[in-house]
A and B are shown apart, each in its own frame.
Chain A
């Protein structure tokens, strides 16, 4: 199985963004998807760094793709996403709008925010030129198995959300701005102080969600540690790792070792939990009763 790095979901300062992708050049991953997924207002801060990051990663032997925005509504967002293809890098669509901008038959990838729930949809995307599809994180293992089989029949590589806070929802409203009594248009970049999202607790004080501007993520980090054998058996071709502000190189290395069989089950997740205070894991979408369920022993929330 291969490793794909998801586009960062967070708003990082340009220097940090640049350093993250420089560091990633030495990480043991096959593929990196980068660009702005969540909010078009963030892009101007780091877009000038993108070509250099693409070049660095390509020189390091990685396959590089550019993501579309997850929710395209405004005129400037339409224009900007229509121009993505001009950069000469394969596009990963995360809003179907981005597919409408690609010439028919052009090769592209499909991200986890496109609803690929069944074989007909997978085959339709393949017929339009999709070469790789990362499935929506909420899919159970049975669906993953059926889709990986359908993918292998029509030459589409199927990928699964492997590690990181799970994208659960996207909205027209910016919750970070709302929290600060502002509107989205006048947000003053309220999300910039939360490089891994902002913890949202329930009334009994349980950490539950993570706020990230217009996006809502899980509080828990998805972790495929206990699922890797089943995913391999299902024919899944890659795991997707979602960038986090600290210790991401270690995550890449841990998954590589786990895939190579040099790390026993349970060690990867134990090390991921040890990365920071308050890191909780989940793998329930694949096999549990609820998305938040976890196969391992959980540190107390």
Chain B
């Protein structure tokens, strides 16, 4: 597909005030995303989640965000009114958060919550809404969706909760999905299932995906392109298949610090933090 890029970011900055003046947590980030899968990797505090939130203009006050260019499918996100932005969120760009336990409404049934996500953005007859919800729950491989629709979030497991989140985020058929650590609250065995599912849906519908994670190997497995962030800046940008030829010492350090399945090293190499000031 040759078309204009889905998302263009230039010089994105996010800052927070502190007693010692404003601290920038994202320092001039730029990238262009087509209908492809982009991975953003970094450690805690590297600014990767803030980047995801800034795209949706969800940085809460007193935090401030600002960019030279931030366009989504030709729309200038910086100038959009808060009202228009709300129409866009969920409908065209949606975000999967880390922990389903905290992002689902505990006092609403799963069926109602997913239906609400759809009704907010589309006017549909009640019967059509029901049909779409059922179809979506089937798409995220939930057995017996009729029964699950009547359950409350505390009655389902973590993996199922995350699949419900995915269903809720994908039901308005967005063009861009931002997944912020979608599997770090899940078990290894469930992790693979959830990511395979996101991967399949993204590819079938030709969506763009931004996968934010601290796990280098996981991102390398599921993305086309990778940005490595450290202290608010991109230190490395490469194709996922080229990750093992990464050049920046920080990326190399991160890669080396991961234990391997066939571990022969007596000691794991440790990052020399003095080389990069800050976090």
Same complex origin of A and B? no
Please give the residue numbers on chain B whose beta carbons come within 8 Å of chain A beta carbons, in ascending order.
none
Please give the residue numbers on chain A whose beta carbons come within 8 Å of chain B beta carbons, in ascending order.
none
